Chains A and B, each alone.
Chain A
Amino acid sequence: MTYTRETDHGTPPALATGKSVTLTIDGQSVTLPEGTSIMRAASLLGGSIPRLCATDSVESFGSCRLCLVEVEGRNGYPASCTTPVAEGMVVRTQTDRLKQLRRGVMELYISDHPLDCLTCGANGDCELQEQAGAVGLRDVRYGYDGATNMGQAKDQSNPYFDFDPSKCIVCSRCVRACEEVQGTFALTIENKGFDSKVAPSQGEDFLGSECVSCGACVQACPTASLIEKKVVESGTPDRAVVTTCAYCGVGCTFRAEMRGEELVRMVPWKDGKANRGHSCVKGRFAWGYAQHQDRILNPMIRASVSEPWREVSWDEAIAHTASEFRRIQAKYGTRSIGGITSSRCTNEETFLVQKLIRQGFGNNNVDTCARVCHSPTGYGLSQTFGTSAGTQDFDSVMQADVILVIGANPTDGHPVFASRMKKRLRPNNGKPGAKLIVIDPRRTDLVQSPHVAAEHHLPLRPGTNVAMLTALAHVVVTEKLYDETFIRERCDWDEFADWAEFVSQPARSPEAIEPLTGVKAEDVRAAARLYATGGNGAIYYGLGVTEHSQGSSTVMAIANLAMATGNVGREGVGVNPLRGQNNVQGACDMGSFPHEFSGYRHVSDTATRTLFERAWGVTLDSEPGLRIPNMLDAATDGSFKGLFVQGEDILQSDPNTHHVAAGLAAMECVVVQDLFLNETANYAHIFLPGSTFLEKDGTFTNAERRIQRVRKVMAPLNGYADWEIVQLVANAMGLDWTYDHPSQIMDEIAALTPTFAGVHYDRLEAEGSLQWPANDAAPDGTPTMHIGGFVRGKGKFVVTDYVPTDEKTGPRFPLLLTTGRILSHYNVGAQTRRTANTAWHPEDRLEIHPSDADNRGLKDGDWVTLRSRAGETTLRALITERVAPGVVYTTFHHPETQANVITTDFSDWATNCPEYKVTAVQVMASNGPSDWQQDYADQARQSRRIAPLEAAE
């Protein structure tokens, strides 16, 4: 396959009006939607009108004057990018006069552009070069040494791309991409006329500017002015394979552009329905970890964690794994071992791990990292709506009129979706922007950023979500803003009446809870009125909702609010959890929870169990298994002795590190399958090297229930894809699996899971992606759920009483710590810390309000001790008014900080999802890392030793 860029039609598709017009272009008749540009029309006919400032990711601009055409009956030479098609129009795209005009324009461009084409990074992939060819430029009458623009210094501050102003043709494509696609407005054209220059922020370099390094500008640049450093280093790619990003739950699809087995660049795929051709700094650029020197490529074993690792053959490692698990089960019982599936791995791999446990281990001790993020979503939405997933696709946000964001920071956590959301929040083509309500203890970027401002920001105290949502419901009910028709049709009216009576009690009014939440009652009332009456109301939420003692209650409170206002079951509305990991939705769907099979069917359900027993030829356990925190408890009690962990770092990511460490230390065999010697591996006895998403086939399911293909672009450095490794372990335990390709695993999933019945690789190949449920009832998948009725039948109003967390502030721990993420890093940072993304966030910082800092005599950048009832750590302070007085905030991307030493064992009442978002702490000045941090670092160093290979005799 030879490499070509994706087809660029020059201007975006017209806004749908339903009307179409017929015209003639170069003698060919064509019928197209009204509002289409002549440029796009010509391109759709297979032609290509010369152009420089137009690209179909941004609105037309009409500045380069290269795309001129002749239209019969019109004077002059209109620009085809800004001229819409009209009924009966007759267009000519190539005439002697047009050729002359275009050459004239091109001469001016080239007179001020370096002619180092052969040694230029964009050689062979440069639109200026291509257009010079297309217009037949043969001579430049003005000479080749333009007065002002050549010889300027490059800005190489960004770790992933260079900016060379000498090669800029001031087409503004980068500036418009930054505004329209990304919504950051970091770039501008400064000065006028011949002095016009692209500039990031106010005279800063790219790294120091507001730029978020999403790369939309680089993709839009027609020359080498903005170019990936990797392309400069390696040359242009020669093939492209569409695959899915392995970072967050947005699930962006990319063209992995390759030369041989070398990945040259990742370019977001325009046809990708999750990302629509956009990306963030992680997906586009931060994939260097795949080849990082820290990757472990050989299996290793050791008898105890105090010994160094010993490299062994795959055969030995697999045989040892199987014999250890069998030995432990023989000694301590069938239920003494278990495993953790990975939300970073594919659906197929996850399915196999839980199959290994249920079929091979003979128990249900399987859990996944959704335990620590969105398990309350599963519980809450199933109780109220009947299904464990978001109700909409991402496109739906474009139809929303009021957007309510609660406990989510999408510009950092889900940046590509945030760009879509911001696009809807800005006025566009005369349509006013959607209104925004943000409920968050911090003043997140969404609250106030260029051309976006929240109508209401309710900065509640961490831990008061249920009180706040009930107060919003109180206003909706007492002011009779609810949608009675919807409720009578779709829900149980008596249940609604019970709930309405509960929320209407004066004790639940905004005024009554003001002392709890710290938010002015009037603001709460105004926000409730806006959500209930502002048109399509869409709720987006994140871990700030789920990671609480009342995570499940909060999810149900959100669902109640959406049902009461009739905001479910059509485009533009809904309840949308922004899922964390790339495949956390999939991991849940695949039966990674200890109480249910794939498709969310309880293990006690005899009919479902029989289905699996027939397919797998064994008797399955009808009792639910252990959840992760329960496994650790059982381990410290001495009844749980062996754990298989695929692609998850529980020691760093799970709460109360001391508790996790004690649990792991009490086990006799911990098997870690991962790319790196992660923190959990410090307590492991067997290490099985994992493979990256670039090295395997499979599927991921994103936050919109969209199942998308992951495609292998290079051979696994470690020798096997992760699904193959699980199969080796299974067969060593006598299970006789015979999968040759992940498509066969998906066929098995489809056969056993009603919601996936129509999901097969040939369908995914044909459709690009499918949103489950995809089966006979919904052959093309389900973009919007609960249309016409809820999955469970009637929507259920669940009374959610506010029960304050037992994690309370007091004289010794007067501040509330909440945790979150930053754009440039991903969760525990195992991948992103091994990329140049560290340029933006080299360490975790503690955000603290100036008044709290003053009280403690702290200056910005000071080392501080952060102490909770669970433990203490040190990090540097960042003084900011983003957090309210009494609240501090940090990220958890760096193992040196180990923010989870601080977090406690408290968890959601229904699902044991940890309460990461509320910890009572004290902050004080410090001299540097704590004893614990030093001990931890020593232990980690000791534990990571790998013995040198003995010479063969």
Chain B
Amino acid sequence: MSDDTHVMSTTDRLIYMAHQIARNMATLGEARAVTALAAHLTSFWDPRMKAQIIAIAQAEPDRLSPTVAAAVAQIAQGRSAGKVDATQFNTVDEAGHCDAG
């Protein structure tokens, strides 16, 4: 990013956010990071944001790293269960598990 501007377009911001999450999951190793990233986006991004990143993956595939691209592909195919690694949800009437993201 240049020194002169700090205003990201929402598209840029979305791409930035996805890569930022991926960087923080990098120590999991590629395969687990892809699953965890897909789960994270599934759990915390609203449908429009998910649709946007899928659209970006199709229109401008070069802008996504292999990890992000693979995770977005999982979401696009509806394969992410949203319950792997990154989050664990409560069952009914069970106290505790939570994920205030």
| The residue from A593, A623, A624, A775 contacting B95, defined by CB atoms under 8 A apart | A775
Min CB distance, B49 to chain A, in Å?
A: 6
A552 to B23, CA, bound (A): 13
Stretch at the interface among A63-71, A425-433, A534-542, A631-639: A631-639
CB atoms of A387 and B96 under 8 A apart: yes
A595 and B43 in contact, given A600-B100, A636-B10, A801-B27 (Cβ under 8 angstroms): yes
A502 and B27 in contact, given A588-B100, A870-B6 (Cβ under 8 angstroms): yes
Tell me the number of A-to-B contacts counted with CB atoms below 8 Å: 156
Q: Using Cβ atoms and an 8 Å threshold, which residues of chain B touch A335?
A: 46-48
Q: Using Cβ atoms and an 8 Å threshold, which residues of chain B touch A813?
A: 3
**Residues A291-336 near B (CB distance < 8 A):** 335
Stretch at the interface among A51-59, A603-611, A825-833: A603-611
Q: How large is the interface on B (under 10, 10 to 19, 20 to 34, 35 or more residues)?
A: 35 or more
CB atoms of A801 and B24 under 8 A apart: yes
Min CB distance, B74 to chain A, in Å?
A: 15
CB atoms of B13 and A382 under 8 A apart: no
Min CB distance, A534 to chain B, in Å?
A: 30
Min CB distance, B57 to chain A, in Å?
A: 18
Tell me if A586 is interfacial: C-beta within 8 Å of chain B.
no
Q: Using Cβ atoms and an 8 Å threshold, which residues of chain B touch A658?
A: 7
CB atoms of A792 and B8 under 8 A apart: no
Tell me if A602 is interfacial: C-beta within 8 Å of chain B.
yes
| The residue from B82, B92, B100 contacting A370, defined by CB atoms under 8 A apart | B100
**Residues B1-24 near A (CB distance < 8 A):** 1, 3-8, 10, 13-14, 17, 20-21, 23-24
| The residue from B28, B94, B95, B99 contacting A378, defined by CB atoms under 8 A apart | B99
A909 to B40, CA, bound (A): 11
Q: Using Cβ atoms and an 8 Å threshold, which residues of chain B touch A868?
A: 6
CB atoms of B100 and A792 under 8 A apart: no
A351 to B84, CA, bound (A): 29
A896 to B43, CA, bound (A): 39
Q: Using Cβ atoms and an 8 Å threshold, which residues of chain B touch A552?
A: 24
Tell me if A553 is interfacial: C-beta within 8 Å of chain B.
yes
Min CB distance, A470 to chain B, in Å?
A: 11
A633 and B101 in contact, given A602-B87, A803-B24 (Cβ under 8 angstroms): no
Q: Please name the residue on chain B nearest to A336 by beta carbon.
A: B48
CB atoms of A605 and B90 under 8 A apart: yes
Tell me if B26 is interfacial: C-beta within 8 Å of chain A.
yes
A601 and B27 in contact, given A382-B100, A792-B96, A792-B97 (Cβ under 8 angstroms): no
Tell me if B60 is interfacial: C-beta within 8 Å of chain A.
no
Q: Please name the residue on chain B nearest to A629 by beta carbon.
A: B13
Proximity bits, A370-410, B CB within 8 Å = 1, else 0: 10000101110011001110000000000000000000000
Q: Using Cβ atoms and an 8 Å threshold, which residues of chain B touch A379?
A: 99-101
Tell me if A806 is interfacial: C-beta within 8 Å of chain B.
yes
CB atoms of A607 and B92 under 8 A apart: yes
Q: Using Cβ atoms and an 8 Å threshold, which residues of chain B touch A708?
A: none
B42, B93, B97, B100 pick with most chain A CB within 10 angstroms: B100
CB atoms of B23 and A803 under 8 A apart: yes
CB atoms of B46 and A365 under 8 A apart: yes
Q: Using Cβ atoms and an 8 Å threshold, which residues of chain B touch A569?
A: none
A378, A588, A604, A775 pick with most chain B CB within 10 angstroms: A604
Q: Using Cβ atoms and an 8 Å threshold, which residues of chain A touch B47?
A: 335, 623
| The residue from A550, A639, A754 contacting B93, defined by CB atoms under 8 A apart | A754
| The residue from B4, B82, B101 contacting A910, defined by CB atoms under 8 A apart | B101
CB atoms of A911 and B101 under 8 A apart: yes
A634 and B48 in contact, given A602-B43, A607-B91, A799-B27 (Cβ under 8 angstroms): yes
CB atoms of A595 and B101 under 8 A apart: yes
Q: Using Cβ atoms and an 8 Å threshold, which residues of chain B touch A819?
A: none
Min CB distance, A643 to chain B, in Å?
A: 15
Q: Using Cβ atoms and an 8 Å threshold, which residues of chain B touch A378?
A: 98-101
Q: Please name the residue on chain B nearest to A662 by beta carbon.
A: B7
Tell me if A869 is interfacial: C-beta within 8 Å of chain B.
yes
**Residues A603-628 near B (CB distance < 8 A):** 604-605, 607-608, 611, 623-627
Given contacts A604-B89, A869-B3, A869-B5, 20 further A-B contacts (CB under 8 A): A335-B48, A386-B96, A550-B24, A553-B24, A599-B98, A601-B90, A602-B87, A602-B89, A602-B99, A605-B90, A624-B45, A630-B45, A633-B13, A637-B10, A755-B95, A799-B28, A801-B26, A812-B3, A870-B6, A909-B20
8 A-B pairs with the lowest CB-CB distances in the bound complex, closest first: A378-B100, A600-B98, A791-B96, A869-B6, A607-B92, A633-B10, A388-B100, A388-B98
Q: Which residues of B contact A (CB under 8 A)?
A: 1, 3-8, 10, 13-14, 17, 20-21, 23-24, 26-28, 40, 42-49, 82, 86-101
